[in-house]
Amino acid sequence: MMQLQRDEEAVSAAIATVLLFGGVISIISLMMVTMIPVIEELEGSVERHDMSAQMMQFNQQTTTLAQQGMPGDVVTQEFVPVDGALSWDMMRSGMWYTSTWEEDHSFRIRDVLDFDDMLKIRHAESTTSTACFSDLRLGPDRPYHYTAPAWSDNVIVTTKPGLSFPLGPIQVDVLRNAELDHTAELFVDDVLEWTLDDADWSIQSSQELVVYWMRGGQGTTEARPSDANANGLGRSWALPLPAGNVHLNAVSEDLMMVTGSGQFGDFTEVALQSDLLNVGTNWNKTLVLDVAQVVHITTTSDAQLMLSIGGTDGATAWKSRTGSMHGTSFIPPAQSGHLLLSNPNIDVATVTWRGAGISIDPMNSYSVSWPPVGLDGASYLKSDIPVSVTWTSSVAPIGAYELGAIDTGMESGIQMHANNSNTFNLELRSNGEQSILNISTSDDNATVLDSSETLTVPVNGEAIYVNTTKGHGVFAMAEHGSVGLHDAHHDGARRCVSIGVTASGWVDLTMPWASMGGRSIVDVQAAWTSGAFPSSLHIELYGLIVEEPYTPIGSAWVMQISRFVYEFESSVTGMEVAMSGGAVLTNHPEFNPTVIVPPSDRGGPGPRFAATIPALHPTSDSSSGGGILSMEVTLTKRMSLASDIAYEVRRGWAEPYGDAIAQSSTDGLEASEDWTIYPGRLDLLSDYVGWVPDPGFGTVESVWHTAGEPIQFSLQISSLDAHVSEVIA
């Protein structure tokens, strides 16, 4: 019988071999655990630098297109991803600029890019009276909307002049009862006019228009300038006019040369300034036009222009010298007629002009013959408290004119009042989603007015008071007789809210649009198209300066700009390289916000600042994903947002890169001795002009510093439509 013997040495060797192999595997596993993140990080670094190079090249092309291109110009580039994917982010992007028009005043905004209807403002230097909001309508498939007033029976339109014009025609869609009635094509300096019936009419256009609603083929209106400054004054007008007689009356504080041109020919005339105290410059002219055409009027000084079509009958609200409907200083037109002066206050108003004056009882109106007899020029009109001024061709107004809101002093608000002995119809339209009204002449104390509706209230020589008890405010127009003319804003413009506080901290405001907070991008895009939510925003702030409560204090431009994003993975997920608003950004590595290319601007020489913002938005049929994609960017329009003397300019940027951009733009401060010695002391910084960080904590804003000197501020925006398609190999 054979006996088995255990070879202890062999067993020990086998066990040692197994243990050694296990140790090697453990070491290799440990090495893999520590090396895989390094490998992934290296791969992420390759992806970041590869796409950064592609986006920097493309960003340079789009920035050049935005600054120098003409509408219709195109740039293209192919994007070749490594392992990541290309997409658009329209919810976490955007920027804003703010400027102030009064010395030693500041204007700041916060929480303006979160898609709800709330934001914060800060203006600590005086009482803040009113804020007015206007939808900039930036992006593809976001047309301008114009709703016809119920009293109008015809309309005449043309394109609004700008920095650049489309080479091809502008498509204008005319809707009747919310259904497409017809489509027209409009070239630069073309005129379109058509007749309206009793249906609900509206206009949609991809470009901003000059729209005159008319009745009876004649009427009078204050024509809005194409280049209006913060006070609403301007130096150029594009007037779409029908064939027939046209009368023009311009007034200004200074000597002015007036130039006109059109198919009728051209003219140049000089209006001399009066030598009398409190008397401005007046200019009148009558044109006889053989055909409908656009007449261009330019002046050499800031002016207001009254337009009368088909004669001199009609009525128009006349704005103050600060652009408000209620104000303390006016230069009324010197065209023969009457002024209806209305006092919306609970105190007596004392109104004076050259050689005369009156007192107007609280909540009352008074009519005076105008202009003063024997006066060569345009008399100033001053009041000790805010009043409204309406020019009329007769004692009892005929035509159509706006009523200013009591609470805001502007075109829209929650309280409207009229008290005179005239008979007229008051037409109301909501300046938001819905208004619930209390009308003093109505038995129904809860009149609901939706955004797509108008309400006509007959007034027969009685006082009428309209108060919005819930929801958004209203626009109001008074109309009477068989004539009427109104230079219309688009539906998303001049929605004003009252503030009426003096505060050193942040003040909460509710915008006159329905909140889109928490909604999907599909819902937001639909709201942008319909105008139910603004696609970029212009905010105008008014406050008390001396005795004028509606002085323009500052302006803000809030741009909702899409981000073109390349998403990839490294040692962690969620890494990206993004391009937005002329900047190239990344959060690689480890979610560290980094500015690869800062947004472009131009400063100096001297206290100057200019910027052109490339607002890039994808078309609705754009592709996305991880394949090779070709992007074609077309410049659709370029607009001038501001060109004036400002006293403070700020720039803010939405997170997650707001703080990084604010910090990167201030790199030049390193060379400043004043900043080195006195960090954070802007009042002691005298050896540096440029961006400085806001002194606050955790801010995403920076301030353009000029050591207290006024800034020649110029801001433009170029709307760029991006179409992305997959490249088929």
Mean pLDDT of the chain: 90
| Range in 185-189, 384-388, 441-445, 670-674 with the lowest mean pLDDT | 441-445
Q: Which of 663, 669, 671 is nearest to 682 (CA)?
A: 669
Could you tell me the pLDDT band of residue 32, with boundaries at 50, 70 and 90? low
Q: Residue 426 pLDDT > 70, yes or no? A: yes
Please compute the mean of the pLDDT values over residues 420-426 and round it to a whole number: 89
**CA-wise closest residue to 212 among 162, 260, 284, 154:** 154
> pTM for this structure?
0.92
- pLDDT number for residue 29: 67
End-to-end CA distance of the chain: 79
Q: How far apart are CA 357 and CA 375, in angstroms?
A: 15
pLDDT band at 35 (very low <50, low <70, confident <90, very high): low
Mean pLDDT of 76-82: 91
Q: Are 349 and 431 in contact (CB under 8 A)?
A: no
Cα–Cα nearest to 397, from 382, 418, 377: 418
Give me the residue label for tokens 């009745």.
Answer: 215
Is cis: bond before 605, omega within 30 of 0? yes
Q: 706: left (phi > 0), else alpha (psi -120 to 50), else beta? A: alpha
pLDDT tens digits, one per residue of 47-74: 889 999 999 999 999 999 999 888 888 9
Q: What is the pLDDT of residue 4?
A: 54
Q: Which amino acid is at 452?
A: S
Least confident of 348-357, 642-651, 697-706: 697-706
Cis ω before 161 (30° cut-off from 0): no
Specify the pLDDT at position 474: 95
What pLDDT is recorded for position 385?
Answer: 95
The dihedral over CA atoms of 683, 689, 690, 691, expressed in degrees to the nearest 10, equals -10
pLDDT over 90 (residue 20)? no
Instruction: Give the separation between CA 358 and CA 448, rounded to whole angstroms.
Output: 39
Is 514 in contact with 532 (CB distance < 8 Å)?
yes
- Please tell me the predicted confidence (pLDDT) of residue 173: 95
Residue 647 has pLDDT above 90, yes or no: yes
Q: pLDDT above 90 covers what percent of the chain?
A: 65
pLDDT of residue 679: 85
pLDDT for position 33: 60
Q: DSSP for 236-282, please give it.
A: EEEEEE-SEEEEEEEEESS-EEEEEEETTEEEEEEEPPPSSTTEEEE
Selection from 247, 243, 241 nearest residue 336 by Cα:
247
Q: 425 near 458, Cβ under 8 Å?
A: yes
Cα separations (Å) of 697 from 651, 684, 692, 700, 701? 16, 20, 13, 9, 10
The string of pLDDT tens digits covering residues 367-392 is 999 999 888 889 999 999 999 999 99
Q: What is the per-residue pLDDT across 521-548, written as a single tens digit (0 to 9) for each?
A: 899 999 999 999 999 999 999 999 988 9
Helix (H/G/I), strand (E/B), else coil: 353: strand
- Mean per-residue pLDDT, 346-375: 92
For range 32-36, the mean pLDDT: 62
The SS3 of residue 291 is coil
Structure tokens at 507: 């003040």
Coil/strand/helix, residue 36: helix
Neighbouring C-alpha atoms within 13 Å toward the C-beta of 371? 20
Residues 472, 434 contacting (CB under 8 angstroms) = yes
CA distance 551 to 554: 9
SS3 611: strand
- Banded pLDDT at 82 (limits 50, 70, 90): confident
Report the pLDDT value the prediction gives residue 1, as an integer from 0 to 100.
Answer: 45
User: How large is the average pLDDT for residues 232-237?
Assistant: 96
Interval 562-604: pLDDT, tens: 999 999 988 888 899 999 989 999 998 888 899 999 988 887 7
Torsion, Cα 698 108 207 614, to 10 degrees, reads -40
Query: How far is it, in rounded angstroms, from Cα 664 to Cα 659?
Result: 9
pLDDT tens-digit profile of 498-513? 999 999 999 999 999 9
Decide: 246 and 286 in contact? Cβ < 8 Å.
Answer: yes
User: What confidence score (pLDDT) does residue 696 get?
Assistant: 63
Return all residues near 605 (Cβ < 8 A) that are at least 6 apart: none
Cα gap 377→280, rounded to integer Å: 6
Q: What is the per-residue pLDDT across 294-321, written as a single tens digit (0 to 9) for each?
A: 999 999 999 999 999 998 999 999 999 9
Taking the C-alpha atoms of residue 594 and residue 42, their distance in angstroms, rounded to an integer, is 18
With 0-12 / 13-18 / 19 or more C-beta atoms within 10 angstroms meaning exposed / middle / buried, residue 356 is exposed
